[in-house]
Chain A
Amino acid sequence: MGKKKQKIILPPELPPEVPDEEVEVSDEDLDFVGQHSDYANFMSRIDTPSLTKHVSRVADANEGALELLYEKKLRKKLENKETEENTLEVDPIDALPLKTADGQLYYRRVVKESKEAADDGELIKDPALVKPTKAEKRLKTKKLRKEAKKQAKEEEVQQTPQEEVLDEVKKELTAEEANEKKKYKFAELGTTLLTDPESNIRLLKEMLEISKDGDSAIVILGLKSLLAVFKDIIPGYRIRLPTEKEQEMKVSKDVKKMRFYESTLLSAYKAYVQKLVALQQQTVYQQVATRCLCTLLAAVPHFNYRESLLAAVVKDISSQDDVIRKLCCTAVKSLFTNEGKHGGEVTVEAVRRIAELVKGHNCQLHPDSLEVFLSLSFDEDLGKPERSDMDKKAKYKKFKKRKGSDESNQKPENDRKKSRKEMMSKTREEVNADYKAVSSDQDPQEQRKMQSKTLSAVFQTFFRVLKHTVQPKSEGSAHGAFGSHPLLDPCLNGIGKFAHLIDLDFMADLMQCLRKLAGNGSKSEDSSENSSCQLTVSERLRCCIVAFKVMRNNLDALNVDLQEFFIQLYNLILEYQPGRDDGDLLAEAMKIMLCDERQHDMQRAAAFIKRLSTFALSFRPAESMAALVTVKHLLQKNAKCRNLLENDAGGGSVAGAIAKFQPQVLDPNLCGALASVLWELNLLMKHYHPSVSSIAATISTMNANTNQVFRVHTSPQQAYTELLKENESFATPSAIKRTNSKRKGSDTVPAQGSDLNSPGEIDETAIRSKLSEHFSLLRDIQENERLRSEMDRTTQSLNLYETYRKQKKKRKTRSD
């Protein structure tokens, strides 16, 4: 039985000892099997190879031959694999396999030819796509290491002869082919590096060597592939090279290996960064180098040589080239927003460098370079958690005390509980310690120090910009490429944002500066200074707004009245031009300065009411709406100002000391607006825009005597934006009409002179033709009427004549 089994199951490859035909299967046997088919099941489950092995050993027949055969088979398989690998290249970035949920590994495979083309683009896009999480990475690296260990020995042996061969071949190839080869080489080296960085770290140097090539395309490619490699293999900690003492000490093999790895990585990285910085000066490589630097800075801000990275990036932050500037700005922004990556040190460094840059360039930089500061974030509660911790500890102590007393009462209960508690606390402590070590949480005090350093640098910059704007410029100084005060806008924004963090000591200076800036335009008019230091209306408005924000954020205790800024706003309203200046800013200023302020001088409020309603008469509906909303606010808060709504011009006791309204006076406190009448509202009630006319109507119905409670739902800003939107839909048809007429005009009047003149003339001709049409029609009608009346008259006379003849006949007949 045993023998038969063996023969049936023998693998077909083995040379059969006995041909199958010789074995005779009797009918009885078949029957037996058929009857007990259930028992025959085991046959299918027999482990053939082990059986054969066992049997062959027992048989002790031609063992050597068998082994040879197996070996041959294995070799064949290996060869097959190699050929497969050659035809199918793995993309360097995609070298790490994807692991699906069911545990299968997928390699991204790209055919060699297409890879080159893809390489270029993917380097920029892919990292985010392919970048695995740390846990994944660890898993993969473990697996890869296992595989790689097997191959490593073979590869290292194989690589040296390969290079030799390559070198020989290279000489024969043309330059282009050599380039192609280099590209392949990059791909190869990158892939091997990524699969097992620890054992292949020496390849980095090779890559660096190749990227020193003269051909720019190759260099760029090399920089990019190196970037990808570095980004992946740089560890999450800062490498500290061992001191000499440490080097002398005896260390284990693993540590030695690690040290070698780290030092090689570091030196290669250093060379790479230096190369990038050097290449940044050349126009050909400028963009690529900057991009590499920025990506590195954003990805590994904790690593060594970040200072040089930072220096290179900050230097280009106000570059003329839009792309480079954007890159640098986003890199620095990412530094500020992801402070956890580097623990804040780099933030301080970056802010300092920017401050120095601003100082060095005398504030003539692109606005973007200060815009960066807006993404800084300061944690105000840094000191607090500590305190709360202390509180907790104290509480805990108290609690413990109480508990202790309780325990003393219940002492005899059992010791087991106590020991368990101890265990618990011990483990908790351990866990806490571990957590701290892992999260590498910083001392909050340290962090605070860092923050205050950052803040001081930021404000230093802001104040520098302000001071620079304030001081009048000499005639010769050119404005540079960025206008006269390029940094003022972001600077004001920043001050507005961080207003609550300003030290009170600076406050006085800051307000002084802002006051000067806000009053800049009018002063220069007075003293006829050169116009170069004049700010636009929007900038001055912004100054006012920022001043109010600063004040509001800092003083809840003391209510300070910013008289100067009210005067500025009062005059700025006159200078405002709808097209040129930012209406949003004006609305914001109205909101912050007039609506939000709790109390006003009566005189001042009246002056603003008067001026705003005058202003509303002459501007677009959106602006006038904002102004009217503000007027409503003011009238509701200041009951006395409702005297303005009465129909007789007050004066004397009502108006205070000033008897007559003087609209040309600059100071709202002195213009005596209380003595005037708000006649503007009457006109505004007939405004063409329905919402403006309606709000004017509601304001004019407010009564001076009754103290009604009004509610205002909208702020001037809201009103402004709403109407602006509405207006756009409102205005589009008319705009289309105008363009139509323009087209007509250009058809009828060929080769018109300037664009500015043409619309007027076109309108004239069009109007003339239309008018002439109209009047000719009228004339026709008149002519018609005249003719008709003439006809009537003639028919009448004819009728008359006929009747006359008839009568004559009658008479004749009578007489006859």
Chain B
Amino acid sequence: MRPLDENETTAVFNKLHKFVGNNLKNIVLESQAHEGPEPNPGRYCFRMQKNRVYYVSESLVKRATNVKRDKLVSLGTQIGKFTKGGKFHLTVQCLNLLAANAKHKVWLKPTSEMKFLYGKSVSKSEVGRITESIQVNDGVVVFSMSDVPLGFGDAAKSTVDCRKMDPNGIVVHRHADIGEYLRSEADL
């Protein structure tokens, strides 16, 4: 377990910024906004363990130092992992963190929730609602109509372009969805 180095930090922050915009400071600075099991969690920070990045409170970090590095399986909330090539990927576990601070959202119609949870991307006909001012390649969090976060992905089209699109065109490219908890349980 170690703190992130500079390159890693910029990679992580860039990725998060794509989804939450200026709310990034809520994630990094305002620890009291998130309620964990501990009474005095202290500040939250990012830690790296075996190529995976975790979002952990300071008190937990202190306690985790007692465990040997190769014996430590996980701590706090995993938010993503670095690939062998050095790229950073967000994983499903960070969904709640993103959903609470999301800037761009897409709500799915109830009939097409299932399709998304099986790993398909979101097409225009499935969109129940969409926030304005989404640009191409912005990070988008996908919700069900009853405001349950389902996953996240990349915007394939801006909101303005969406209007002119045909109903089968893809609006959001899927990155992760909560169906992964079942589908790829072993890899998570």
Contacts and interface: CB of A to CB of B under 8 A. Distances in A.
Interface of A: 504, 507-508, 511-512, 515, 551, 554-555, 557-564, 599, 601-603, 651-652, 656-660, 662, 667, 670, 672
B131 interface: yes
Given A599-B145, A601-B147, A658-B100, A558 B163 contact: yes
Given A504-B163, A599-B145, A562 B33 contact: no
B127 A504 contact: no
Contacts of A554: 163
Nearest to B32: A660
Interface in B100-136: 100-101, 103, 105, 107, 124, 127-133
B49 interface: no
Nearest to B165: A558
Contacts of A557: 163
Nearest to A662: B33
Contacts, number: 78
A794 B34 CA distance: 81
A563 B35 contact: no
A658 B36 CA distance: 10
A47 B124 CA distance: 99
A557 B129 CA distance: 10
A538 B133 CA distance: 24
A561 B132 contact: yes
Interface residues of B, number: 30
B127 to A, nearest CB: 7
B26 interface: yes
Contacts of B163: 504, 507, 554-555, 557-558
Contact of A651 (B35, B124, B145, B164): B35
Contacts of B107: 559, 561, 599
B34 A563 contact: no
Contact of B100 (A512, A560, A652, A657): A657
Given A561-B130, A563-B131, A670 B147 contact: no
A564 B133 contact: yes
Interface in B22-75: 23, 26, 32-35
A469 to B, nearest CB: 20
B23 A559 contact: no
A685 to B, nearest CB: 30
11 contacts: A504-B160, A504-B164, A515-B133, A560-B129, A561-B130, A563-B103, A563-B131, A599-B145, A651-B35, A657-B99, A660-B33
A554 B159 CA distance: 13
Interface of B: 23, 26, 32-35, 96-97, 99-101, 103, 105, 107, 124, 127-133, 145, 147, 158-160, 162-164
A333 B106 CA distance: 45
A564 B132 contact: yes
Contact of A670 (B26, B160, B164): B26
Contacts of A512: 133
Nearest to A557: B163
Q: Which 8 A-B pairs have the closest CB atoms?
A: A659-B35, A657-B100, A559-B129, A508-B160, A561-B131, A560-B132, A602-B147, A563-B131
Contact of A507 (B96, B128, B160): B160
B147 A659 contact: no
A658 B33 contact: yes
Contact of B159 (A560, A657, A670, A672): A560
A560 B159 CA distance: 8
A670 B23 contact: yes
Given A558-B162, A599-B145, 10 more contacts: A559-B128, A560-B130, A563-B103, A563-B105, A564-B132, A652-B35, A657-B33, A657-B97, A659-B35, A662-B33
Contacts of B35: 651-652, 657, 659
- Most A-side CB within 10 Å, residue of B23, B127, B133: B133
A605 to B, nearest CB: 10
Nearest to A505: B160
Contacts of B133: 511-512, 515, 564
Contacts of B33: 657-660, 662, 670, 672
B34 A659 contact: yes
A554 B99 CA distance: 29
Contacts of B101: 670
B40 to A, nearest CB: 14
A564 B159 CA distance: 14
A667 B23 CA distance: 10
Contacts of A670: 23, 26, 33, 100-101
